[in-house]
């Protein structure tokens, strides 16, 4: 069996930056074990498999795999595959393309708006299919610091303290004092395995208010060794869950709040994630994730 594939760089408008993604088309004949094998072969943060949709009005059914596990939802595969399918299946008008891509993901139906203008990278955005919610408790700062190679007083800033949230995929959120500390952080074994185990999410999202770009609001890193992702250049599902703690800690007033999350800088894969939150009557009503995507390569893979 030979299947067409494409790779894209996501959450960037330039090739060889952002988060690389593999998209395997016509994957209806593959089972989960074969998909996992292919994802391990690509060895990117995620590989997404495209199949025929179950409902005629939808664009495609998809499944998402890291090198070590299947995910019910992920941001950069959603953005990347929508940009690709829009380019492959939607016509241009005067060099411009606007499309609505409806994806059947394991978490549910995700509608992605795609906009492409002549000479520019495609931009795709979607409403998170699940609003963020708390997800258990995290260990003390001393244990988190040991697992990250930091000292305890580098964990936390202002009223931000470690907390776990999920918007479909659970993450441990660890606020870090400044850029210097977050740049020095890395998983320290065996402390890591003893801290991020059981009910404590092993997808660990570090964030700080100090940023590289003045137009960014949050600088982030994400480690998840258990899924084969030592560090992720851009994590849209974590950005969706991040909105929960921003609403909780920052007491956001009613209205629309716009953020840019920068990630992947320590890896040489600069990524920018657009995060828009809508608060109504004191409650978080919608979370929208967006970013650019550019095609890099295409070919076929045999299995």
Shared-domain flag, residues 140 and 114: no
Shared-domain flag, residues 137 and 220: yes
Task: Note the pLDDT of residue 292.
Answer: 98
Shared-domain flag, residues 119 and 217: no
Task: Note the pLDDT of residue 56.
Answer: 96
Shared-domain flag, residues 113 and 183: no
Q: Which of 46, 87, 104, 143 is catalytic?
A: 46
pLDDT, tens digit (0-9, with 9 covering 90-100), for 98-133 = 999 999 999 999 999 999 998 899 999 999 999 999
Give the Å distances, CA to CA, from 83 to 60, 126, 160, 170, 281: 13, 12, 35, 26, 34
What are the φ/ψ torsions at residue 17 (nearest 5 degrees)? Answer: -130, -175
Give the Å distances, CA to CA, from 182 to 151, 168, 175, 212: 11, 25, 9, 12
Task: Note the pLDDT of residue 172.
Answer: 98
**Cα–Cα dist 269/232, whole Å:** 9
Shared-domain flag, residues 46 and 94: yes
Residue 206 CB burial class (10 angstroms; 0-12, 13-18, ≥19)? buried
pLDDT, tens digit (0-9, with 9 covering 90-100), for 278-287 = 999 999 999 9
Give the structural domain span for 281. Answer: 133-289
| Closest of 45, 138, 66, 107 to residue 240, by C-alpha | 107
Task: Note the pLDDT of residue 18.
Answer: 98
Shared-domain flag, residues 45 and 149: no
- Give the CATH number of the domain where residue 86 resides: 3.10.310.10
- CA angle at residue 167 from 162 to 173, to 5 degrees? 15
Shared-domain flag, residues 88 and 101: yes
Shared-domain flag, residues 139 and 281: yes
Task: Note the pLDDT of residue 94.
Answer: 78
Shared-domain flag, residues 147 and 85: no
Per the CB < 8 A criterion, the answer to whether 221 and 234 are in contact is: no
CB atoms within 10 A of CB 113: 17
Task: Note the pLDDT of residue 92.
Answer: 83
C-alpha 170, offset from chain centre: 12
The stretches in the chain having pLDDT less than 70 are: none
Pairing of β 204-208 and β 218-224: antiparallel
What are the φ/ψ torsions at residue 52 (nearest 5 degrees)? Answer: -65, 140
Give the Å distances, CA to CA, from 26 to 115, 279, 300: 24, 40, 11
Per the annotation, the verdict on 46 as an active-site residue is yes
Shared-domain flag, residues 123 and 267: no
Number of domains in the chain: 2
Task: Note the pLDDT of residue 151.
Answer: 98
Shared-domain flag, residues 94 and 122: yes
Shared-domain flag, residues 66 and 121: yes
């Amino acid at each position: 069996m030979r299947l067409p594939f494409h790779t894209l760089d996501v959450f960037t408008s330039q090739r060889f930056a952002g988060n690389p993604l593999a998209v395997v088309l016509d994957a209806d004949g593959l089972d989960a074990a074969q998909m996992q094998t292919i994802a391990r072969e690509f060895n990117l943060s995620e590989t997404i498999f495209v199949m025929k949709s179950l409902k005629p009005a939808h664009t495609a059914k998809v499944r998402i795999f890291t090198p070590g596990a299947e995910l019910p939802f992920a941001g950069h595969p959603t953005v990347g595959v929508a940009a690709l399918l829009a380019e492959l299946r939607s016509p241009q008008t005067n060099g411009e393309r606007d499309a609505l891509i409806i994806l059947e993901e394991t978490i549910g139906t995700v509608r992605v708006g795609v906009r492409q203008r002549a000479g520019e990278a495609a931009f795709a955005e979607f409403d998170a299919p699940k609003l963020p919610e708390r997800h258990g408790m995290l260990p003390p700062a001393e244990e988190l610091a040991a697992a990250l190679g930091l000292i305890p007083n580098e964990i936390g800033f202002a009223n931000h303290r470690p907390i776990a949230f999920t918007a479909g995929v659970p993450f441990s959120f660890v606020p870090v004092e400044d850029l210097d500390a977050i740049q020095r952080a890395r998983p320290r074994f065996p402390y890591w395995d003893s801290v991020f185990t059981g009910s404590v999410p092993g997808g660990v999202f570090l964030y700080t208010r100090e940023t590289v770009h003045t137009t960014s609001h949050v600088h982030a890193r994400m480690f998840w060794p258990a899924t084969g992702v030592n560090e992720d250049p851009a994590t849209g599902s974590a950005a969706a869950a991040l909105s929960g703690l921003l609403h909780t800690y920052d007491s956001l007033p009613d209205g629309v709040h716009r953020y840019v999350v920068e990630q992947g800088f320590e890896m040489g894969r600069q990524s920018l994630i657009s995060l828009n939150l809508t608060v109504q009557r004191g409650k978080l009503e919608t979370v929208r994730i967006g970013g650019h995507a550019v095609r890099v390569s295409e070919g076929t893979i045999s299995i």
